[in-house]
Structure 1
Amino acid sequence: MAAIIINTYTVVPAEPTWTGRFPLAEWDQVGTITHVPTIYFYDKPPVSFQGNVVETLQNSLSHALFHFYPLAGRLRWLPRGRLELDCNAAGVTLIEAESEAELSDFNNFLGTKEFEKLVPQVNYKTAIETIPLFLAQVTKFKCGRISLSVKVSHAVVDGQSALHFLSEWGRIARGEPLETVPFLDRKVLWAGGPLPPFASSPLYEGKEFEEPPLLIGETDCVEERKKETVVAMLKLSKSQLERLRSRANRSQYADPARGFTRYETVTGHVWRCACKARGHSPEQPTGLVICVDARNRVQPPLPAGYFGNATLDVVAASTSGELISNELGFAAGKISKAIKNVTNDYVMTAVEYLKSHENLKEFQDIHTLGSKDGPFYGNPNLGLVSWLTLPMYGLNFGWGQEVYMGPGTNDLDGNSLLLADKNEDGSLILATCQQMAHMEAFKKHFYEDI
């Protein structure tokens, strides 16, 4: 499915914006520091839509950047592996492309090389000061359908903030006012004041940045990271999810007053299935990376519309033997405990931990810069990010809502996303990447173990 680029536009804010050096918070500068892709597919615009698709996107994007002007800037390196945002209104990239393909089933090419042609490409070999923080590609298909793929710099925003921007871009395209004005001051996530003398919860110890568990008998993860991977989109119906939660909540590990959440339950299930599919020995250590949104966990909570990174990774650890031999509630309990640890004290000590380090580059996911050296990348570990509470669906630029929305490329072994089904019937979708040699076994356990 060839996609031919017709035009590439640089889009700048519609009006002059503040310019200058914009300091980033610690959580902006660790983990994934490059671009995260998502993609939307739309039916052919109805006759009632009288505008030009590309012009509509271009003009509304320009007006959206006036409010979200940090996205129009550029990153620059500082000493000690730190990053700074130069708000210089250099603009973002909008690509116009066409394809002769007849688009019928979106799932047929997710995770394939053909799919990559619909997503803006970023050359990380060039100086970081030249790379746009936001790129979008609109592709028109022969059948009249449209795809819109975007890539947003994770050094500037997390998923919540990125979707806030996309939602407001759509509102502006439809001629509507902003729903939530972005809160741009990141000083609210800067630590520096005295911590409580008696912390009410566990404090951050930096375990998330330690060397991850390795396969027994291996000295590093190089060989595992060379193995071919494949992506699958696996659906959990409402009834299947309820069966899993019922099982987990009947266990001795469940809190009777609260029970396990959807995320804790499904992630525990995925962790156990991955251990089985990978054929681990019982004593094999394994780590699970969990991404936690701190917006409502700090005191006071972050302001509505906080525009930046407010998520941090925590790690649940066990052995494959423990996970498989115990009931589902054991794995879910490990995950629940790791999430509950993220309190205001935990977040502030985490910020102080990062501020005290001489060089932050050791905490940055280098695999996103073209290699595969991410700290928790691959067998025997995995990560599962929740998109369950994100405003993912309903992105409308004036020609109707998307018919499909999903993650962009995801080719890292063990990396997974959990999202609600667009049909809103209570079902969930697991987007998971596994080694090709393990995927069929993973699917088998994923459904048979329900």
Structure 2
Amino acid sequence: MASPILPAFTVRRGEPVLVSPAATTPTETKALSDLDDAEGMRFYSSGIHLYRADPSKQGVDPAAVIREALARALVPYYPLAGRIREEAGRKLVVDCEAQGVMFVDADADLTAADFGDVQSPPFPCFEQFILEATTVAGVEPVIDRPLLYIQVTRLKCGGFIFGQRFCHCVVDAPGGMEFEKVICELARGEPGPSVPPAWGREMFMARQPPQPSYPHPEYSEPAGGADRMLSTPASDMARVPFFFGPREIAGLRQRAPPHMGRSSRFELVAACIWLGRTAALGYGADEEVRLSFIVNARGRPDVPLPEGFYGNAFAYSVAATTAGELCAGGLGYALELVKKAKSAVTYDYLQSVADLMVLRGRPLFALSRTYIVSDVSHAGFKSVDFGWGEPVYGGPAKGGEGPLPGVTNYFSRSKNGKGEEGTVVPICLPKDAMDKFQLEVQGLTAEIL
């Protein structure tokens, strides 16, 4: 699972340009939803796709193909070519005036084979293959900036790398994939998108008057002392990808209480990591610890999402207890809390979050003694085909994104050296906690003979 060591290389970027919609689009202002404009959405998420050469595409410039398809895709998705503006009450709107998205082509002295069998984030040297948004004091502003940055890097073997940075206020991971798939359809010669986009943000607006119907602990700091995860310098952190394949999942299932019924892979892995992480960090027995995870509203019968919706359609749900109770209760107790939190997210819950955003000034979710996870296994990264076939790698550029390393994490699908498929989680912890965490996970996943 170790990242390959790349040979010395140079990336030569061209001059970034703004790509506008290929045809006339409406000039208007569209309000984002009260889920879209939360503080926790105000950043750029990044993704990378690596493609091998295709002999049938010899002489075809992937950057030119993608740039042309991008301009055409921005016609139905014209809000993505706009700019965000903040109104009273920190409310975000998109001024749609065809301002364009940022695009750059580049060349690298590498081949697709140089990356080896990369399966999980972080992508090797990802900083070289994504076009960074402008930062101010280390923060990426989303106001009055392009909402999408794309870099297409040609490789000397004939393959290429597609890197993107999306403003999370306007798309979530599945929504971003919907837009990329439309670029793919147009790049492959289709006349238009197979599924037209739908704005639909009004369904996640706060009610009038706003009346949160849930306590939402995810937006209040937990009880207890300081959290070393928030104060440990990046240089003192260790980063290790953990693979949960068939044997690890079988070991976890053996320890899951039978009365709970069958647990999903996500539930088992999340409970395992939360438990092991809490023990490794050595929190006080009376300190509150939390697992916060994204629950996607797509596909739920009680959430009336229109087909083609590409905005944020999820909520953070929280499992919380004390460190002492979690460690004493073991995997079964952790799993019970995860299942309960996962089932709590309904349409009413999402509307309650929107209400809270308006009443409390769109706060950032709590970070202290909180582990935040997002499962992107089913986002569709592998289905992004511009005409060069399925990507060798498709997924997040980084191991986790958001306010701090180690606090937020992605779960993604991967294969190990034996070809077994499983869930990979790139863990970031203080160096002196990593060994203990590894021992905890080994103990929880070892099969009981």
TM-score range, shorter chain: 0.7 to 0.9
- Aligned equivalents of 1:222, 1:331: Cα separation in 2: 23
- Residue aligning to 1:124: 135
- Asked if the contact 1:225/1:413 (under 8 Å) is kept, the reply is no
Compared with structure 1, are the counterparts of its residues 206 and 121 closer, same or farther at alpha carbon in structure 2 (3 Å cutoff)?
same
Q: How does 1:33-182 map to 2 (within 5 A)?
A: 33-48=42-57, 51-102=60-111, 103-105=114-116, 107=118, 111=122, 114-125=125-136, 128-176=142-190, 177-182=192-197
Structure 1 segments, 4+ long, off by >6 Å, are: 193-196
- Residue aligning to 2:406: 413
The Cα shift of 1:220 comes to 8.9
- Aligned equivalents of 2:305, 2:56: Cα separation in 1: 43
- Aligned equivalents of 1:152, 1:175: Cα separation in 2: 24
- Aligned equivalents of 2:10, 2:425: Cα separation in 1: 28
Q: Could you report, residue by residue, the CA deviation over 1:294-330 in whole angstroms, capped at 9, with x for unpaired residues?
A: 2344745211221211111122111222222223121
- Asked if the contact 1:415/1:432 (under 8 Å) is kept, the reply is no
- Residue aligning to 1:19: 27
- Aligned equivalents of 2:108, 2:157: Cα separation in 1: 9
- Aligned equivalents of 2:379, 2:293: Cα separation in 1: 16
Which stretch of structure 1 is more off in the superposition, 175-184 or 237-246? 237-246
Task: Tell me which amino acid in the other structure corresponds to 2:94.
Answer: L
1:188 pairs, out of 198, 203, 228, with 203
The Cα shift of 1:354 comes to 2.1
What's the TM-score once normalised by structure 1's chain length?
0.85
Q: Could you report, residue by residue, the CA deviation over 1:157-205 in whole angstroms, capped at 9, with x for unpaired residues?
A: 1111111111121111111242211111311222436999xxxxx9322
Q: Secondary structure at the match of 1:449?
A: helix
Compared with structure 1, are the counterparts of its residues 426 and 114 closer, same or farther at alpha carbon in structure 2 (3 Å cutoff)?
closer
- Aligned equivalents of 1:156, 1:208: Cα separation in 2: 22
- Residue aligning to 1:375: 366
Q: Secondary structure at the match of 1:397?
A: coil
Q: Secondary structure at the match of 1:15?
A: coil
- Aligned equivalents of 1:227, 1:315: Cα separation in 2: 29
- Aligned equivalents of 1:445, 1:220: Cα separation in 2: 19
Which stretch of structure 1 is more off in the superposition, 219-228 or 341-350? 219-228
Q: Could you report, residue by residue, the CA deviation over 1:116-147 in whole angstroms, capped at 9, with x for unpaired residues?
A: 12221111328744411011111223344321
Q: Could you report, residue by residue, the CA deviation over 1:78-127 in whole angstroms, capped at 9, with x for unpaired residues?
A: 12222111111111111212222452336599648933122211113287
Does 2:285 match 1:282?
Answer: yes
- Asked if the contact 2:289/2:321 (under 8 Å) is kept, the reply is yes
Q: Could you report, residue by residue, the CA deviation over 1:349-377 in whole angstroms, capped at 9, with x for unpaired residues?
A: 222222333x32xx14xxxxxxxxx7316
- Residue aligning to 2:310: 307
- Aligned equivalents of 1:219, 1:267: Cα separation in 2: 20
Q: How does 1:257-296 map to 2 (within 5 A)?
A: 259-296=262-299
Compared with structure 1, are the counterparts of its residues 73 and 239 closer, same or farther at alpha carbon in structure 2 (3 Å cutoff)?
same
Which stretch of structure 1 is more off in the superposition, 282-291 or 305-314? 282-291
- Asked if the contact 2:12/2:108 (under 8 Å) is kept, the reply is yes
- Asked if the contact 2:291/2:319 (under 8 Å) is kept, the reply is yes
- Aligned equivalents of 1:421, 1:444: Cα separation in 2: 22
Q: Could you report, residue by residue, the CA deviation over 1:226-269 in whole angstroms, capped at 9, with x for unpaired residues?
A: 6643433322212322331342243x5x1x3xx32211111000
- Asked if the contact 1:249/1:260 (under 8 Å) is kept, the reply is no
- Aligned equivalents of 1:219, 1:147: Cα separation in 2: 38
Percent identity over the alignment is 25
- Asked if the contact 2:34/2:206 (under 8 Å) is kept, the reply is no
Does 2:443 match 1:432?
Answer: no
What are structure 2's unaligned runs of at least 5 residues? Answer: 1-8
Task: Tell me which amino acid in the other structure corresponds to 1:385.
Answer: S
- Asked if the contact 1:231/1:434 (under 8 Å) is kept, the reply is yes
- Asked if the contact 1:120/1:149 (under 8 Å) is kept, the reply is yes
Q: Secondary structure at the match of 1:273?
A: helix
- Asked if the contact 1:100/1:142 (under 8 Å) is kept, the reply is yes
- Asked if the contact 1:282/1:319 (under 8 Å) is kept, the reply is yes
Task: Tell me which amino acid in the other structure corresponds to 1:118.
Answer: F
Compared with structure 1, are the counterparts of its residues 435 and 164 closer, same or farther at alpha carbon in structure 2 (3 Å cutoff)?
farther
Question: How many residues end up aligned between the 2 structures?
Answer: 424
